[in-house]
């Protein structure tokens, strides 16, 4: 199994970063505007891309305010089914440290490589503006999202 991991520091209170990860309004500021997200464990999240032609559906496995968010992929890009995404937060030196992990890829193939790149760009968007309610997206594409 292959995993994607990113570690970033964000100049915002941990509670604000947690809200950016756990509310539809928050996610719209850094990942996709097409989102429906449950704020309860056991609920679902639906994230649409490219006019809803590509959709990722997750189950909300864990919400531990303000320290942890964990989703399990139900459907989406090939190779994503059954993978998990976790966002672990802590305060350190006046900033929020985010450890992101997308775990459980069966193969480190082109889809995996694409997901690695995209997650890095999306997390930079979160750091740059997503926690401050200013949409900043560094990733623009006309092609079909593969990961």
Q: Say how far residue 7 (Cα) sits from the centre of its chain.
A: 13
Q: How far apart are CA 97 and CA 67, in angstroms?
A: 10
Domains and CATH numbers, the chain: 2-132 (3.30.530.20)
| pLDDT, averaged in runs of 10, over the chain (147 residues) | 96 96 96 96 96 95 98 92 97 96 95 94 90 52 38
Q: Which of 53, 5, 58, 2 is nearest to 27 (CA)?
A: 58
pLDDT at 82: 93
pLDDT at 79: 87
Record the pTM.
0.87
Q: Are 5 and 26 spatial neighbours (Cβ–Cβ below 8 Å)?
A: no
pLDDT at 133: 57
Q: How far apart are CA 108 and CA 106, in angstroms?
A: 7
Radius of gyration of the chain (CA): 14
């Amino acid at each position: 199994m292959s995993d994607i991991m990113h570690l970033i520091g964000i100049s915002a209170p941990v509670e604000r970063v947690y809200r950016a990860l756990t509310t539809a309004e928050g996610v719209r500021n850094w990942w996709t505007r097409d989102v429906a997200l449950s704020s309860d464990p056991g609920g679902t999240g639906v994230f649409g891309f490219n006019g809803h032609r590509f959709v990722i559906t997750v189950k909300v496995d864990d919400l531990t305010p303000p320290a942890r968010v964990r989703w399990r992929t139900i459907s989406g890009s090939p190779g994503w089914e059954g993978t998990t995404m976790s966002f672990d937060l802590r305060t350190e030196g006046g900033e929020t440290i985010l450890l992101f992990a997308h775990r459980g890829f069966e193969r480190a193939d082109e889809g995996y490589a694409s997901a690695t790149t995209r997650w890095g760009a999306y997390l930079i968007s979160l750091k740059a503006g997503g926690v401050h309610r200013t949409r900043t997206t560094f990733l623009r594409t006309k092609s079909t999202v593969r990961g």
